[in-house]
Structure 1
Amino acid sequence: MIRLSPRAPDSGPVPRLGLTRLTIAASGLLALLIGVAFAVLMWAIADANSSTSARRASRSALVEAGNLEQLVLDLETGQRGFVITKREEFLEPWQRARREFPEQERRFTETATSPSQRRIAEQIRQGVDSLVNDYSVPLVEAVRRRDATASGLAATAEGKRRVDALRARFDQYTADERAELAAREDAAGSNARRAVIAAGAGLAATTALVAGFTVLQHRAVVRPVRGVAAAAGRLAGGDLGVRIAPSKVAEIGALGTSFNTMAASLQDSRRRIMESVEAVHRRTARDLHDGAQQRLVSLMIGLRLARELVPETEPAATELMDQSIAHAQEAIDELRELARGIYPLVLTVKGLEAAVRELASRCPVPTVVDSDLDRRIGGAVESNAYFVVAEAVTNAVKHAQASQIDISLELGEALRIRVADDGVGGVGAGAAGSGLTGLADRVAAFDGTLTIESPPGGGTTILARIPVP
């Protein structure tokens, strides 16, 4: 709660500027304010154009880094399967990755956005080449020659060490690029806000000079106090994006600065929490994929090899082996579905549109996706937008009795999400369950809005609008 205390009496008289002198002074200040406002606006436009180009380059660098890292994972997965099974068909991802490495490395190094990033990119490229030429290819050739040392613990540990080192460098590269991107976006937003504040201050000063001392007093004192009260109400209602315009009165100006600082701190804290949650989900999904899932795959491969060694004259043993293989496959499928539900890999690699299309392809109800997304957006926004779509689709499948679901993604000044079904409808604010409440919370975390249209018998349409930095 913000409390306003009465101002302590001044110890002496406060010098005041007469109306005549105020008018004369305002005439000179008016021209100065207009010139400064235009200069700031021109500077803000130039800075915005420069920031847009830099952000586009950073997003391209992140995409190419993700593509190259995926190729490294495909190479390592194919190699591991071949080393374990000695079967050539497991080398298909390995061979495909080797074919695509030269072109992908070229794109990756060319999209580096700074000298430091180019140095890291070159280190990654050298590490990838070393992994392929100095380790992976000789290892595969040794396995083909039936060299017993190729499947030993030393060879496996060497491969894990190399891949872990590469992934650490990829993580450093991605983290540095995201930090640079965030810094550019913060600087651009700060510059834009300063430009808007400067233009607003110039307009307010012009109006005050024309209206006279009485109107000036009203605008400088009464209306700012009302604005503080309204902003406080919006802040209490969850709108952390509300800000108070600067005031010429010292006390109200200090209050507005404190209010804006508090609101900005709360907004940044909420954004960091969402980004931390998104990072934890991504890391958890990756750990499941690289850890338990890979061990289950190795277990199933071993069971299948063991099954081939059991003679058909032992029906009890073969039946037990078949059941174990089936259970292992079910566990792998369930683990993959769990990892996909926590954070789908395609969302990190290819973005929101590809992840939504994959979600639609797995939906038991026919689902159509219409999207005009032509660029990547912030990772936290993408993640939460994806889970908004996923929750809406899940609700439609479970409760709507629908025969078709339509998903629309539009990107302008904000990301607009529309999920509509032709089901029974009749979902109102009072009937919305925890699923739809979770949707509202996700959207509100990014200062967005959620609307539900669900007339009885007319299907349900969920509309979400999320501002995009």
Structure 2
Amino acid sequence: MSAQQEYKGRRLGLTSLTVAASGLLALLIGIAFAVLLWAISDANSSTSARRASRTALVEAGTMERLLLDLETGQRGFVITKHETFLQPWYQARSALPAEARRFTASATSAQQRRTAQHITRGVDSFLNDYSVPLVEMVRRGDPAASSLATTTEGRKRVDTLRAQFGQYMADERAQLAERTDAAGANSHQAVLAAAVGLAASMALVAVFTVLQHRAVVRPVRGAATAAQDLAGGDLSRRIPPSKVAEIDALGSSFNSMAASLQDSRRRIMESTEAVHRRTARDLHDGAQQRLVSLMIGLRLAREMLPETEAATADLLDQSIDNAQTAINELRELASGIYPLVLTVKGLVAAVKDLAARCPVPTVVETRDERRISSTVESNAYFVVAEAVTNAVKHAQASRIDVSIEFGDLLRIRVADDGVGGVDRATAGSGMSGLTDRVAAFDGKLAIDSPSGGGTAILIQIPLRD
């Protein structure tokens, strides 16, 4: 797609593009932080739950130990009848109400709370319905206190309660292990999600950087290079269309400015060439013809003068020579301004005429010869004339070759076998003038001049029907 073609797709604004990318990046970062916060909250919840489970296990162990203190204290008292064995029984009985409340409150689930309440009622029943009456029976000396039935009932109650404690703590440990596993899995998922979010954010930043480079940095660099080329005289340089609205507007403005400058230069050159043609025609048809008429009159006067008038004859001969010299100089001047053969016969004939008058042997080759725009012909001729003149003056050449090819492009190559070593930096204003002439018609001029290898100048100018 050329720079002159309009881009048909939807253009993006830098502001909207930046806002969209920033919003997406902020969304990804927000999601990543939300996942991290959720992971932290879940980890805190899991930590609290594990702490509560450990507390519940401790309280269950304490409650079970009080039950054992009740059982061992009463058993020692039943066997020995000594009150000292009731000391741990009294302590356990005193601590039981508060510990029962803590034990029930420490339950970590509704099911565990119901189990804890059931165990608490079982311990209260063991104390109030069995242990306290048994101690009173021993104090009264009732022999039934030491009977097998009484002892078996007590052991059965304790075994049942201990089994319930065991099941309660087993369930609590299972919940603790489940919460630990869930916390680990959640932490792993959170780390994974955070890593994915971070990777997605980095990928988005990379994509946005690449997109910004392709959509902004590269076109801006291209615009800077085009501006440098334009400042160097290449008015044919254009900036291609861009998907970014601001860059595309900049390119359109640049292209319009370059086209306007190119049109202005072309009009100036066309006007200059018209002035040259008119001046050359006026010199040829006006002053030159008058000088020719004057010289003819002087010759006629010389022939009519008697031989005895030697001084007058010498004066007439001198005037005739001066008139001829003036005619020759005027003819050369008119040819330099705009050669008549260029107007009458075209570019190839004018270049061949130039080659015939060149002091260095010059060979002209043509292909598909035809007449083209007079303005292009005149500018191409003067480019060739300047290149040949430079070769004669500076190249120390022994041969100059000129090739002219007509097609979609007018291709002209002027090559010499001189000393070479010419480039745009050292060629001076003459080469700049050639470049300006060619660039005014969307043309290109290239120089190939290796040191010691001669100089070749290639001119390419598009030909419009």
Task: Report the TM-score when normalising by structure 2.
Answer: 0.51
1:409 aligns with 2:397: no
Give 5+ residue unaligned stretches, structure 2.
13-20, 22-203
Task: Show the counterpart of 2:367.
Answer: 372
Q: Match for 2:321 among 309, 321, 326?
A: 326
1:201 aligns with 2:3: no
Change (3 A) 1:381 1:401: same
SS at match of 2:458: strand
Tell me, yes or no, if the aligned pair for 1:403 and 1:423 is still in contact at 8 Å. Answer: yes
- 1:265 and 1:399 map into 2 onto residues whose CA distance is 36
Q: What's the CA shift string for 1:183-232, capped at 9, x where partnerless? A: xxxxxxxxx979x736x637999xxxxxxx99999879962674355235
How far 1:244 sits from its partner (Å)? 4.2
How far 1:405 sits from its partner (Å)? 1.6
Q: What's the CA shift string for 1:109-132, capped at 9, x where partnerless? A: xxxxxxxxxxxxxxxxxxxxxxxx
Change (3 A) 1:367 1:299: same
SS at match of 1:201: coil
Tell me, yes or no, if the aligned pair for 2:241 and 2:248 is still in contact at 8 Å. Answer: yes
Task: Show the counterpart of 1:84.
Answer: none
Letter in 2 for 1:388: V
SS at match of 1:197: coil
1:230 aligns with 2:222: yes
Q: Percent identity?
A: 69
- 2:252 and 2:436 map into 1 onto residues whose CA distance is 28
Change (3 A) 1:219 1:424: closer
- 2:398 and 2:236 map into 1 onto residues whose CA distance is 40
Q: What's the CA shift string for 1:143-172, capped at 9, x where partnerless? A: xxxxxxxxxxxxxxxxxxxxxxxxxxxxxx
Task: Show the counterpart of 2:415.
Answer: 420
Q: Match for 1:272 among 259, 267, 272?
A: 267
- 1:249 and 1:437 map into 2 onto residues whose CA distance is 35
How far 1:411 sits from its partner (Å)? 2.4
Q: What's the CA shift string for 1:376-420, capped at 9, x where partnerless? A: 222222111101111111122223333322111122332221112
- 1:242 and 1:219 map into 2 onto residues whose CA distance is 25
How far 1:368 sits from its partner (Å)? 1.0
Give 5+ residue unaligned stretches, structure 1.
1-191, 206-212
Task: Report the TM-score when normalising by structure 1.
Answer: 0.50
Change (3 A) 1:420 1:309: same
How far 1:372 sits from its partner (Å)? 1.2
Change (3 A) 1:216 1:392: same
Task: Show the counterpart of 2:53.
Answer: none
- 2:251 and 2:418 map into 1 onto residues whose CA distance is 49
1:441 aligns with 2:436: yes
Tell me, yes or no, if the aligned pair for 2:419 and 2:451 is still in contact at 8 Å. Answer: yes
How far 1:340 sits from its partner (Å)? 0.6
Letter in 1 for 2:8: A
- 1:257 and 1:407 map into 2 onto residues whose CA distance is 39
- 1:245 and 1:457 map into 2 onto residues whose CA distance is 40
How far 1:292 sits from its partner (Å)? 1.1
How far 1:283 sits from its partner (Å)? 1.3
Task: Show the counterpart of 2:349.
Answer: 354
- 1:337 and 1:411 map into 2 onto residues whose CA distance is 29
- 2:388 and 2:267 map into 1 onto residues whose CA distance is 27
Task: Show the counterpart of 2:302.
Answer: 307
- 1:358 and 1:367 map into 2 onto residues whose CA distance is 10
243-252 or 378-387, larger mean C-alpha shift: 243-252
Letter in 1 for 2:353: E
- 2:441 and 2:226 map into 1 onto residues whose CA distance is 15
Tell me, yes or no, if the aligned pair for 2:10 and 2:243 is still in contact at 8 Å. Answer: no
Change (3 A) 1:255 1:218: farther
Change (3 A) 1:343 1:422: same
Tell me, yes or no, if the aligned pair for 1:235 and 1:263 is still in contact at 8 Å. Answer: no
- 1:426 and 1:222 map into 2 onto residues whose CA distance is 39
- 1:236 and 1:403 map into 2 onto residues whose CA distance is 37
Tell me, yes or no, if the aligned pair for 1:228 and 1:256 is still in contact at 8 Å. Answer: no
Letter in 2 for 1:237: D
SS at match of 1:283: helix
Letter in 2 for 1:344: P
Change (3 A) 1:231 1:446: farther
- 1:455 and 1:232 map into 2 onto residues whose CA distance is 30
How far 1:261 sits from its partner (Å)? 2.5
Tell me, yes or no, if the aligned pair for 1:224 and 1:247 is still in contact at 8 Å. Answer: no
Equivalent positions of 1:67-466 (< 5 A) are: 197=5, 201=8, 223=215, 226-227=218-219, 229-238=221-230, 239-246=234-241, 251-429=246-424, 431-466=426-461
Letter in 1 for 2:287: A
